[in-house]
Amino acid sequence: MPSKKNASNSLISTGLVARLRTDFPEYRFRDGARFSFRFPKTITLGPKELNWELLTLHELSHAILGHRDFKGDVERLKMEAAAWDKARELASRYDIKIDDDFIESELDTYRDWLHKKSRCPKCGLTRFQDVDGVYHCPRCENFI
């Protein structure tokens, strides 16, 4: 039998989410396992943790900016940075403290992922991604 979600960990009933629901009635907020945005209208709120307010604004920012798909991994990183920029703007509107170290740490997860993904597994050189999303190594032409 599945366990009930701890109500004290739910963010749906917080004052911030109530204000966001009023200010952005076109979006649906729901509890979930992790913070995410599902195009076109669903913002999932993860567990109550440090900086949950910023994470909520970040996911709302993806929605406001109309983020849906990305054509390449660099474009995904750009979308993440744009969502954090918008979250900073929203944070001042809702009197939420901006933790720049936290935001940079979150962006670092994407930078590290991109760096790791772009390295050629055969020779270690940095590969480039074509418009179809395929990575190419300029040294050994390893296509992955």
Contact 95, 110 (CB under 8 A): no
Cis peptide before 40 (omega within 30 of 0): yes
Please give the pLDDT value at position 7.
Answer: 52
Please give the pLDDT value at position 72.
Answer: 86
Please give the pLDDT value at position 4.
Answer: 44
Q: Which amino acid is at 137?
A: C
Query: Is residue 142 very low, low, confident or very high in pLDDT (cuts 50, 70, 90)?
Result: low
Mean model confidence pLDDT for the chain: 90
Please give the pLDDT value at position 94.
Answer: 96
The fraction of the chain above a pLDDT of 90, given in percent, is 75
* Model confidence at 10: pLDDT above 90: no
**Residue predicted with more confidence, 14 or 143:** 14
* Model confidence at 89: pLDDT above 80: yes
> Which residues on neighbouring strands pair with residue 98, listed in sequence order?
none
Query: Is residue 113 very low, low, confident or very high in pLDDT (cuts 50, 70, 90)?
Result: very high
Contacts of 45 (CB under 8 A, 6+ apart): 11, 12, 17, 29, 30, 31, 32, 35, 52, 56, 59
Per DSSP, helices labelled H in the chain are 15-23, 52-64, 73-93, 100-118
Per-domain residue ranges of the chain: 7-136
